[in-house]
Structure 1
Amino acid sequence: MSQVTIYMDDDAMARAKAAAAAARLSLSAWITKLVKEQAAPTDANGYPLGFFASIAENAPLWHDFPLSEELRAHEVPDLPRETW
């Protein structure tokens, strides 16, 4: 288990202690619970769990999105670079 030092103003600390007491938890357990509720779990690479599954589920919505070749078809070619 890790230890963390955090800095809070007096009002935030008093509110955190009161909320922890109301929940009948230690301040540490209350903050741990808060973090787990507020921060989405991630995979080993830092992506939210289910991220790629949701992308795959929505893939049919993009079937009419133009490919890069279509998007660049009407662009003017770059000028050649100058030699030094």
Structure 2
Amino acid sequence: MVTKAELEAEVKTLRAKLRERDAKIAAEAPPQPAHAAVAGMPGMTAEDVEAAIAGIAGEVEQLHRTHPMLTLLAAFGTGILLSRILR
């Protein structure tokens, strides 16, 4: 039967190996920007993008229904910002 001390020693060695492996992987791979992980996701099809856009549009529509003054102020602010940019 395995004792608690033996199990703890095994866990300690496994954690050390895991830290070494993580350090090796981090040293080999160049850092990637955050958007690169999302852009390279497999399964991100045109239908998924359309569904995401539809979800965002639904949230904006719901925001308009629940907080109409906030939506009005956001539209007003966007108009002022665009007029300043296009001036």
TM-score (norm 2): 0.31
TM-score (norm 1): 0.32
Q: Which structure has more RCO (C-alpha within 8 Å, separation ≥ 6)?
A: 1
